[in-house]
Structures are given as C-alpha cells and as structure tokens.
Structure 1
Amino acid sequence: MSMLLQLMIKDYVLIDKLEIRFCQGLNILSGETGAGKSILIGAIGMALGERADKSIVRKNAEKATIQLIFSISNNELKEKLLSNDIELIDEDIVMISRSVYANGRSTCRINDKMVTVSYLKELSKYLIDVFSQHAHQSLLYPENHIHMLDAYGEKEISPLMDEVKHKYEEYKNIQTQLSKLYGDDRERERKKDLLEFQVNEIMSADLKVEEEESLIEELHILSQFEKISNTMSYSYESLYSGNSREKSIVDELNNIVSQIDSIKDIDSRIGSIYDTLQESLYNLEDITREIRDYNDSMEYNPNRLEEIQDRLELIDNLKRKYGDTIGDILIYKDKIEEELEYINNSEILREELKESLVFVEKDLSDISLKLSLIRKELAKKLERELEDELKVLNMENAAFKVEFAEVSSMANVFSANGIDRVEFLISTNPGESLKGLSKIASGGEISRIMLGFKTIFANVDKVPTLVFDEIDTGISGRTADIVSERLGIISKNHQILCITHLPQIAKMADYHFYIEKTYDKDTTTTNIRRLTYEEQLNEIGRLIGGNSITDLTLKHAEELLNLAKSYKKSII
C-alpha cells in the first residue's frame, strides 16, 4: 500500500536534524503550543514544491534540506516516473528531496534525478494531500472536482464513463481524419488550387532531364560564334585553299610526300618515313573536310540565342520553386499529382466522414446528457450528505453546492469526461454567498471539509497520505469525538498525519508522536519522538488537564484510550 515512510529534515527553521518513520494508519502529532508542530507541515509542503525562501534556512547553516520517502503502488504514477526516466528504488520506493540554500537558490530531486518545482508539484498530487491554511491540496483545484463526484457515484458513473470515453475517442478520431483532409472546405479548395497551378506550371514547361546541360552548352557556343567562325575559316584556308603567295598546307605536304616517294627505294628507313607522311596527309585531308563541313553548318541565329536564354530563365525559376535540378522538379510534380489525386478522392471520403461525425456526435451527446443527469442527481445526494457530515463536524451553518457550468453548445465542450464542468462551492457562515473552496480563509474549516469528503469517499479516494493541521480548531466535546471517529474510519484506507491539541482526537492514534522544543544556551531546537504506551497515556493526560497530571487525569486518559481501542475494533 502507498504511504509516507520517512520524513528527514536538516537545518530547517528550528530543526537541526530530524528523522521520523511513519506507519500506516493514524499518526497523531501533539506537543506544547509553540513547540514547532506546524513547522513539520511547512517542511512537508516545501518538499512537495511549495514556495520557499532563504529565511527557512537554520541560522549559520549552508542550506535547509527536506527528504520524503514514499512507497507507491499506483501504476499511473509509476508510468509517469518511468516516462521521465526516473527509476524506482526497489520497484516501489520514491525519494523526494528539496534543498533551499542560504543564497536563495533551491534544488529538487526525485530518486537523485534533478526535476523542476512544477514537475514536483504535479507528482505530489498522487502522493499526499496536506490540509492546512494555504497548503497544497487536491480539494482546492476545481479540475479535480468532477473526478471526485464521479468517484462518489462510481457504480452508476463508471459504465457510462466507459461509453463516453469510447465514443469521445471515436469522435476525436473522425475529427483528426477530417483535419488531415485539409481542414475545412475553404482550406481544401485553396490547397487544391495551389497544387493544380503547380502541376500545370511544371507540365507546361515540358522539361527534359538532360536539356539544361545541352542548352548551357549551346548558349556558350552561340555566344562565341564570331570567334569560332573566324578561327575555323582561317584553319580551312590555311590547310586547303592557300593564297596567291603561298600554297596550302595540304599542297605542301603532298609535294613533300611526292619527293620522298622518289627516294624511298634507296634506303629502307626512308620508306618508313614515307608511310608515316602518307598517313598524315590522309588524316590532314580528313580533318580539312571536317572543318569545311563544320564551317558550312554554322549559322548565326540571334533569335535562337534569345530562345535559349528565355528557356534557361524559365528552368531557373522552376528550380527556385520546386527543386535543385530538373530531375527534382519532375519528382516533385509526381508527388503533388498524387496529393492532388488524393484530395480529389478525399472529397468523397470527407463526405462519408462528415456523415459519420453527425451520428457519432449525436451518440456522444446522448450519452453525455445521460451522464450529466446522473451526475446532477449524485450532486444533490453529495450536497445533502456532506452538509450532514459538516453539521456533525461543528459546521452546522455550512451550505455546500456542486455547480455545473452552463453549456451553450455541446460540440464545443465535449471531452473524455462528457460535457460537464463542475466546481464545488461552499458557504461556512449564515448569509454568506457560496464561493470556491480556495477562498475559504480558515485552515480548520478546510481541514474539516476535507475530513467530511474523505469520510464519504473513504473507499474510493486514491491519494494515499493525508495530513491534517488545525482540524480541531473551534471544536470540543462530542464534536471532537466525532472528528476522531471520522479519522479512525479514514485511516483504515489511508495513512493520516494529524496535528491536534485535543485528547479526544489524540486517543484514536495508531502511533503517537510528541513534538517538543529544547533550549541550549543561545540555540532553540525542535525535536520529535514516537511515544510508548505509558508516554502516550501521560501525553493525553497533559492534553486533558494541562501540566498538572493527576491520577484522575491519567485514569481519564486510560479510559479514552480504551474507548478508542474498542471503537477501532468495531470498524474493522
């Protein structure tokens, strides 16, 4: 079972070093006025992420450190920890540590992993509720109230809640599918027009994969047309035509070949030279013909130059929009053609989904309304039951109401919880208007209200450890007895830490701790220890009669302990 196992405090306000091991059931803390009982509550609050400043650091200390060790069985909490890479110790131990330094800096750790204060606060909601003035507590958060109401009527609510959650999941799934189909009609048409424009723009360009390279090459040639033409003309004339003063190179080489031919038989080595010259002459004649043909094929067309420049500009423009190369552009075209086809086909799917959404929304609305009606009936029952409980707890003028927010359009308020927005309102004095629980000023009142809730919710509440401070403010006699009985009932399913000044409440302790203040020269220290039965008897005697403990007060104390023992046996 989940519970707070240990509280360790070091250099916090008046506490030098303190270590307390708590147990399952009702843990009572008592002591002289001013002994520092509320300091313990403050330390727990600080460890759970409440605001703290350097003033809480003990004089001359470097830092104040609070450590809470819990055993946990809540699987949701375990998953939450593991999802943040926080490993459990021995599979079920969570160690929360917070230090506040004398310079104002603070650190938070869970199982030695550094965490934020906000994460610590979120996590603490699964572990402990502290009920005192201004303390962290789940009851004060309106977002928790609907879950408390549902827990109150779990048998009636649970089947419908399962239906609502299933239908809401289906509802959200259809909405998600519709949103993937480009949201509303206007958005889809805008997307369709854009894709059609892009496809047409690319297709009209009639791109070829290799054309850019060939166009660049042709542009380079045309831009050098004059130089190429002059060079090739000169080369042809020099090789073949010659002029009036000089023979052509081909003629000269032909003449040389003829002369060598006349002497090649004299020396065999000359024959080799002849063969080479003869082959060179043939090659030169071939090259001359190629130059002539190339020169004849050249035609300067200024319009073609402009065409190429325009084409390359078009390709560059498309590359800026759709890809680094023509190949990339064509791949992009294929992709958006598929997307456009999907949009065109999705219009049919969209209409089908819209039709399904109407039916699912109708079903969800019907189930949510049915759930809301049951909640409202349960709310009336809870209002009556809690007001009766508060009367017993000496709050006979308290008025309690479960307020449901007005729903103008169900489609706008659907959630996994249905359509309801719930908040608990209360008035503790005659003539006062109902207001949110967070606006209740008295810590004693909020503790008793929570005690009333916890009594009613004893078997379904999932927060394992409850801390009550000032719960006995303004009560005595039979009311105090009832409060102690309620604590006894709740402690069967929860671990309770309760600070009290009343013997009627202290008598119900499963474990009793005594808080005292000691003095040593200029140093004041708060200490705590667990009481033996004899010490508990004396402490209850002190709570009954003050510091003058007589045989009569001890006898009365023993009687109270025996009554408590009998009562606890009766509620097993």
Structure 2
Amino acid sequence: MLLELNISNFIIIDKMKITLSKGFNIITGETGSGKSIVIDALNVLLGGRASRDYIRTGCDKAFIEGLFYLEKLENIKDVLDEYGIEFEQDNMLLISREIFSSGKSISRINGRVVTLSMLNKLTKKLVDLHGQHEHQSLLLVENHIELLDSLGKENIESLIIDVKKEFDRLKKLKNRLKEIGIDEMEKERKIDLLKFQLNEIDSAELRIDEEEKIIGELNLLSNAEDLLNIINNILECINSNDYYETSLLDQISSVSKNLAKIVKYDDKFMEYNDIIETIYYQLKDIATELRLYQETIEYNPERIKLLEERLDLINNLKRKYGSNIEEILKYRDKISYELEVILNNEREIENIKKEISSVEEKLNVICEKLSNERKLIAKQIEVEITNELKELNLKDAKFEVSFEKLDHFTEKGLDRVEFLIATNPGEPLKPLNKVASGGELSRIMLAIKTILADVDNIPCLVFDEIDTGISGKTAMIVGEKIRNISQTHQIICITHLPQIAVLGDSHFYIEKKKIEGKVVAKINKLNYEERVNEISRLLGGTKLTEMTKKLADEMLMASNKKNKVS
C-alpha cells in the first residue's frame, strides 16, 4: 500500500504531503482545486510521461516521492532481485522521480537510479490507476490471461503447472540445440577442414625426436668428404703404412721397451711404464673405432635429398600447426577431439530434435485441455461482469473474453486472451483501451475489479473520474462496490459525489489558496466535523445549510454503522 505521497513544485503544488491509510481514501475539492493534479503527480511517479510543463512556475525542477509498504513480497521481490535493488527489512519501498527544466527526469527506487522501463515494470505491481492515464493494468492485454487463470485457479492450477514445466523443458532443449547447432554449410566446411588437417598430420607419421636426428644425419652426409680425410689423417698418424715414417704406435712401443729396461735397474718407473702401455692399447682401440666409423660414412646424394624433403615437410607442418613436432602433435589431438565433438553433436542434435517433437506433442495435449478449461471460466465471468456493468448503469454493455490460438508455445500455453467490451447496443466488441470516456472506463474497470478482487495482487487501486455521468442510486452502488474492494485493497478515489465520499475510511480535501500572489494547492485530512461540512458542500453547493449538514451527518453515521457491521 501507498503510505505517503510527497509532491514538490508540481504545477500549482509547492509542497504537499499526503499520509494515506489502509482501506478507502477519498479525495474531494472544488472544481479546479487540484484534485486531478495529485493523480497526475502519482502517474508520473509510477512511470507516466514527464514534461517540463509539470514544473511549477519559477522553479527549476519538480519532485515526487512515494513510500510503499509491501504486505506481500512475492509479488515484487523477483523484480527487485532482477534489478539488484536492496530491499529494506521493514518491507518499505521508497520510489522518487525528479523532473528537470530540460525535460529530462531521474527515477530512483530505494535510492538507486533506475531506467523508466525498470520503474514501470515495478510500479505496475504496486498501483493500478484508473482514469485518463496509461498506468492501468487491465489495459495491458498480457495481464488478461493471468487474471483469467487466477479466477479459475482451483480448476486449472495443475494444468498451468504442467504447461510451464513442459515449456521450460522445451526451452532448455531448444537452447541446447542452438548451442550445439551451427549452420549446415559452416558445419560441413568445418568437418572438411578438420579432416584435411588430421590427414595431413597423420600421414606425416611424425616422431618426437625425429627433427634433431635428421638435422644430425644431414650434417654428417653433407660433410662426408671432409670427415673421411680427417679420419685418414688420424689413422695415418696412429699407425702409418709409410716405410719411411714412424707411426705414433711405433713410437709409444719404443718408449715402453726402453722404460722396461730402466725398470730393471730402478722399479720406481714401473708405474709410468704401465701408463704408457695403457695409452698404447687405447690408441689401438681408437684406431679400430675410427676404421669402423669410416666404413659407415658414405656420400649419398639420394639419402640427402630424402632427408631434406622430410625436413621440408616437417617445417611446412610447423608453419601451420606449431613451433615444433610436440606442438604439432598436441594440435592434432585438439582437432581430433573437436571433430569428434561435431560428429557426436550431429547424433545429439538428432536426439534433441526427437525429444523436442515429443515434448511439443505432450504440450499440445495439455494446452488444449487448458484452453478448454479457460473457455469455461471465461463464459462464467462474462456473465458476472456483464451483470456488474448493468448495476453500474451500463445497462446495454456486453463483456466478452476473446481467445486466439498462438502459433508458438508460451509458458502460459497457446492462448492469447483479451477482454473485449461493447457499451452501447449495436456496437461491435472492442478492446478495453478503445473505450473513449475516462469515467466509463473506470466503471468498466470497477466491474472487472469487483469480480477479480480476491485474485488481483495489485495492492493499491486509484479511481479518477469514476463518478462522471452518474448520480443517485448508481452512485451509491459504485461507492458500495469500491468499499467492498477496499476490504482487500487500498483505494484512492477522487469524487464529487457525496454518496461515494461518505463511504471513505479517510477523507482528504484539496483547495486552492493564494500565497504571496501565487495560487497554491493545499491538502488536509478532514476530521469528522470537517467531513460533515464537506459532504454538506457536495450535497448543496458552496453554501452550507443546517439541512444539508444534518443530512451529511446522517449519511456519515449510516456509513460508519455499515463499516462496523462489515
């Protein structure tokens, strides 16, 4: 409910604070006193169109603020969570809007700046404003199906749950299909590319240490002639075949023989003789190894060409897939997995498509049952609302619930539901937002709200111009219906009819005053005596008489008794 409304520098309002109560709040005042300005300010606060024309003359901005108490959190908590707005523990919500002379405005919820769309989404769950304003939930076609379902909750709740469950399942399947599915041509192109790359790498039969070995062998083969010359020189030095030259082995053998002679006279050279012998045999081993190595060295142009081609292949793969063979093989494993995923996805796509088809078949059956049940509920409320309209002096009005089958599933099924109305004989049924008169529209809304009162979750209802074109008995019926709704909702009602005004739990009076040469609208909450005077004014005009005051007192007393009984 709306606890408090603060308005500053708005048209002819300088500063106004309205502390509202639960139940039925009445606002009255003389014509042109500013009653509708309060509703205009509330409409702006709720996200309605803001204009620089609303700013009071001589001021640079207008400010409207509303303090709400939320008895039921489930209706609004999801929206607050969605926008990341912190919620006070005492269930209070503070909404404000500033309008600047530039024409721009700033909206805040609990101190946080929000966009106009965010503000509208939230406030549509808080206040329903009926009159010449856009902030009316019943004018939004998307709300009609929810209201219809609320009325038939006992009969269709399980079907609604089943539809939502299967729809959520269908949505998940379609999202998964979207995730794994790619364009058919793109998929084929990707498969061809991956297969080509895999084949190119696999056909090379790469080995981790292969490149180093090839480079080493090429190095040997390319320098074979030099190596053979060097080996020949070493062998010639170690063991010369030249008769005129003494080889290294011969010289060491000679040294060993002479040392052996010395040892006969002095054995301290025995150790050196052993060293010389070791060197002799090691040189012989080296010569043997070099001869064997010499036999392996062969200048082979064909082998060199083969190795160079292999090295070119490796370098080509390195340019494409990695800086070394290890990286190429890692890339190979990666694309192999990627190809496997795509091929597996094709199988998964087929399975998902089959599952989607199955879920859609099931949904069709449930949606058809739900639609049939809705149509039964619709027939019932068509009669009830048409009867309500007759009581509200719209005797020729006809109300109908229109059904249109959608070509796609929604979480509410396959129905598009819209409330239609015809207010005069011979007129075609029209959408609610095509009803021209604000007062007429308010009475239509009242009739619908009367039927929907127990299931409508919007806590605060505002009626502006609801009494336009009615009087007498109709006015009393309108007032009683509003009071009945006020048992479950907070009502704010602007009226000029005493029959409605006497039914209020709280009564506010708006008047215009001239302060320092400027016209200013002021509001006061009336006590009982002041209410008697105001009801008297509504009964008989500006001049109060004892007769009108007595009648006003009797009407208030009778209303209070009814309130106590109810």
Work out whether 1:39 is the aligned partner of 2:37.
Answer: yes
Deviation at 1:340, TM superposition (A): 3.7
Q: Does 1:313 align with 2:316?
A: yes
Where does structure 1 lack aligned partners over 5 or more consecutive residues?
none
Which of 4, 7, 12 aligns to 1:6? It is 4
Q: Which amino acid aligns with 1:27?
A: N
Give the partner amino acid of 1:32: E
* More divergent stretch after superposition (148-157 vs 276-285): 276-285
Equivalent residue for 1:528?
523
Q: How does 1:122-133 map to 2 (within 5 A)?
A: 122-133=121-132
Alpha carbons 2:129, 2:463 under 8 Å: kept: yes
Which residue of 2 is the match for residue 542 of structure 1? 537
The alpha-carbon distance between structure 1 residues 55 and 207, as it changes in their structure 2 partners (threshold 3 A), is farther
For 2:515 and 2:488, the matched residues in 1 are separated by 42
Q: Does the 8 Å contact 1:488/1:568 carry over to 2?
A: no
Q: Does structure 1 residue 333 correspond to structure 2 residue 328?
A: no
In the TM superposition, what is the alpha-carbon distance from 1:114 to its structure 2 partner? 1.8
- Of the structure 1 ranges 517-526 and 428-437, higher mean CA displacement relative to structure 2 is found in 428-437
Q: Distance in 1 between matches of 2:134 and 2:186?
A: 54
Query: In terms of Rg, which structure is larger?
Result: 2
1:206 is aligned to 2:202: yes
Cα deviation, 1:226-271, whole Å, max 9, x if unaligned, reads 87456545644665569xxxx9xx9897799799989998999xx7
1:173 deviation in Å? 5.6
Closer, same or farther: CA 403–285 of 1 in aligned 2, 3 Å: same
Distance 2:370 2:538 in 1: 49
Residues 190 and 135 (structure 1), Cα distance of their counterparts in 2 relative to 1, 3 Å cut: closer
Q: Which residue of 2 aligns with 1:404?
A: 403
Partner of 1:414: 409
- The one-letter code matched in structure 2 to 1:470 is E
Aligned counterparts, 1:252-263, within 5 A: none
Letter in 1 for 2:110: N
Once the two structures are superposed, the pairs formed by residues 79-118 of structure 1 within 5 Å of their partners are 79-118=78-117
Paired residues, what number?
Answer: 551
SS in 1 for 2:522: strand
Q: 1:346 to 1:471 in 2, by over 3 A?
A: closer
Contact 1:35 1:516 (C-alpha < 8 Å) held by counterparts: yes
* Mean CA deviation greater in 34-43 or 519-528: 519-528
| Correspondence for 1:454 among 449, 452, 477 | 449
Is residue 457 of structure 2 the alignment partner of residue 469 of structure 1?
A: no
Query: Structure 1, residues 315-363: CA drift from partner, whole Å, max 9, x if none?
Result: 644569xx9632232244246436645755886x569747xx44x5444
SS of the equivalent of 2:402 reads strand
Q: How does 1:331-370 map to 2 (within 5 A)?
A: 331-334=334-337, 336-337=339-340, 340=343, 343-344=346-347, 353=355, 357-358=357-358, 360-370=359-369
- Residue identity opposite 2:103 in structure 1: G
Which stretches in structure 2 are left out of the alignment for 5+ residues? none
CA distance in 2, matches of 1:275, 1:57: 118
| Cα distance in 2 for residues equivalent to 1:431 and 1:324 | 83
TM-score scaled by length of structure 1: 0.82
Take 1:39 and 1:275, find their aligned partners in 2: how far apart are those partners?
A: 124
Which sits farther off after the overlay, 366-375 or 271-280? Answer: 271-280
Cα deviation digits, residues 111-146 of structure 1 (max 9, x gap): 112211111100111111111213311111111111
Question: 1:176-187 counterparts in 2 under 5 A?
Answer: 179=177
Q: Which amino acid aligns with 2:210?
A: S
The structural deviation recorded for 1:24 is 0.6
CA contact (8 A) 2:65 2:95 kept: yes
155-164 vs 131-140, greater mean Cα deviation: 155-164
- Other structure's SS at 1:526 match: strand
**Aligned alpha-carbon RMSD (Å):** 4.0
Following TM superposition, by how much is the alpha carbon of 1:89 offset from its aligned partner in structure 2, in angstroms?
A: 1.6
Query: CA–CA distance in 1 between the matches of 2:471 and 2:52?
Result: 38
- From 298, 308, 314, the equivalent of 1:296 is 298
Contact 2:24 2:505 in 1 (8 A): yes
Q: Distance in 2 between matches of 1:282 and 1:527?
A: 125
For residues 118-517 of structure 1, the aligned pairs below 5 Å read: 118-169=117-168, 172=171, 179=177, 195=191, 198=194, 202=198, 205-206=201-202, 211=207, 214-215=210-211, 218=214, 222=218, 228-229=223-224, 232=227, 235-236=230-231, 239=234, 292=294, 295-296=297-298, 299=301, 301-314=304-317, 316-317=319-320, 325-334=328-337, 336-337=339-340, 340=343, 343-344=346-347, 353=355, 357-358=357-358, 360-406=359-405, 412-517=407-512
Give 3-state SS (helix, strand or coil) of 2:410's partner.
coil
- Identity, in percent, stands at 37
SS in 2 for 1:11: strand
How far is the alpha carbon of 1:26 from its aligned partner?
0.5
TM-score, normalized by length of structure 2? Answer: 0.83
What do residues 416-443 of structure 1 show as CA deviations (whole Å, max 9, x unaligned)? 3222111112233344332222222322
Larger mean CA deviation between 14-23 and 413-422 belongs to 413-422
Secondary structure class of the residue paired with 1:509: coil
Residue in 2 that maps onto 1:21? 19
Q: Taking structure 1 as reference, are residues 255 and 456 closer, same or farther at Cα in structure 2, changes over 3 Å only? A: same
Partner of 2:487: helix, strand, or coil?
A: coil
Q: Residue 45 of structure 2 contacts residue 96 of structure 2 at CA under 8 Å; is this kept in 1?
A: yes
- Give CA-to-partner distance per residue, 1:267-300, whole Å, 9 cap, x none: 99xx799999989978986996698467437655
Q: Secondary structure at the match of 2:194?
A: helix
Distance in 2 (CA, whole Å) between partners of 1:209 and 1:23 is 86
Amino acid paired to 2:139: L
Is the contact between residue 236 and residue 247 of structure 2 (CA under 8 Å) also seen in structure 1? no
Shift of 1:208: 8.3
